[in-house]
Structure 1
Amino acid sequence: MPELVHAVQVAATPEFVYTPPKAAWNATRILVKPNLGYPAKPPVTVSMGVLGGVLRSLRQASPTAEILIVEGVCSPVSLSEIAGRNGLYNVMDEGMQLLDADTLPLLEYPNRSSRPMRFQTMWAPALLQDVDCRISVSAFKRTLLKNEPLISASLKNLYGLFPRSRYKARSANSRGQLHRPSVPQVLQDVYDCIGYWFDGGVVDADQKFVSHDWKPDRGDAVPVGQVIWGDDLLQVDREACHVGGEAVPSYIEAIAKRHSLPQQD
């Protein structure tokens, strides 16, 4: 049975049955943001076992909803090709649609923080405001940036929603502007611009991806065998770190402190 941890559920991967948030029940439109930015198999990307389980539960919660699966890639390989390679189409029904975030109409989202780290506003798909429910479904990864570990889970997964046309740096395939001055700082802006809109997060920690450098698609798979989910991205990511044997990143506690949200015990 799933274990309830501060409103976050944790289950062994074979026992994972997703519990959708209230916003997903009888919804008209649901947005699902999976981690499918690279032409690589899990744990670089989310597994179809976990993503498929989320989609099935959302369909049960809202039998007639339009479920929009939205991702922006970090590769020359197209989203449709990555989806095909990884088997996404096999877990989609007729009421589900795959959308490339880089092709969608944009909206400038204000930073609700009075002290932004870098961005006063951030551009992301206007679709975020046009749906009833938003879910982040991520892999669980640790990379190294500037010799410091970076944890990627349900909040970092939202990077794929930002258009490369506006946030590219040296490479047109990535969002280099979102790495300056540092990803932990920019993630605080991400949360305060669009992260707080999300109604739930799921972290696929069946395997933890561990990179020996900054490359988020080259590294080792470490068995963990768990899936973590809940209605609050920060709490989900915090618990994923506990389950996955990683220190809770400073950006999570910084965001929680700024908004008087539950912090580390």
Structure 2
Amino acid sequence: MSGFARSAVSYAMPLAALVTAIAVRASGLSVNQDSLNIRIIIRALSSAIMFTTIFVVLDHAEALARRVGEPYGTLVLTIAVTAIEVSIIVSMMLHGENNPTLARESVFSTVMITSTGVVGTCLMLGGWRHRKQAIVRQGTSAYLAVLIALTVMTLVLPTYTRATDTGTFSAAQLGFLSVLSVLLYTGFLFAQTVRHRDDFLEGQAHGVSTRAAPHESISASALLLVIGLIGIVMLAEQVAASIEDALVAYQVTRPMPLLGH
């Protein structure tokens, strides 16, 4: 894709997602629209625009991350990805039959795919291309320590609690672990951005700059990032309806919950 076409898409897609979402809501065409043809067209268009916008938004988030530099760039990417994932999960939970374990199963899947598939692929391709890779042990250890602690508390510990049904927390337990998780992640952010920020900087040992090119506009990337995220969140309802209805149409049975049994 040429530079002009890439730039045009990066500007157009976030705006298209927001305009489409507003138009669907303003016209009163809900996910329960009676006309099957209209419903299919709306959902297909919404899905295509949303998934394309996701890649464009992540590109803006990456440009913004390069512009602000590390370790704040990582936080920008984290917030963008989390907002997209949460919006889709919530929309899936609100549409169709009740599935209270969907959020936990989605987080479990994300952790497994990221910590094994994505990281493993990056290590393999990096070793293939560079032969030898420099890894900052302190920063990597901090990431893994927080990830393991949060994963065990939220995904493993509920299986062994006895105050309520298996796989769930009581109100007191949930409140305590929520506060503990916030404190743990806050401490990690403090270490990442203030106390031990050098442990989370990449490319310093090789003199690689993590700044963006001068022509990249931080204000434009930030604005388009926010617009795109709003559009994705608003379109997620249509996409969730499409997925749920497709599962019903193809008679795909809902599997047993992975956790809590």
TM tier, smaller: under 0.3
Which has the larger share of helix?
Answer: 2
The structure where strand makes up a greater share of residues is 1
| Higher relative contact order, chain-length normalized (CA < 8 Å, sep 6+) | 2
* Larger gyration radius, structure 1 or structure 2: 2
Q: How high is the TM-score relative to the length of structure 1?
A: 0.23
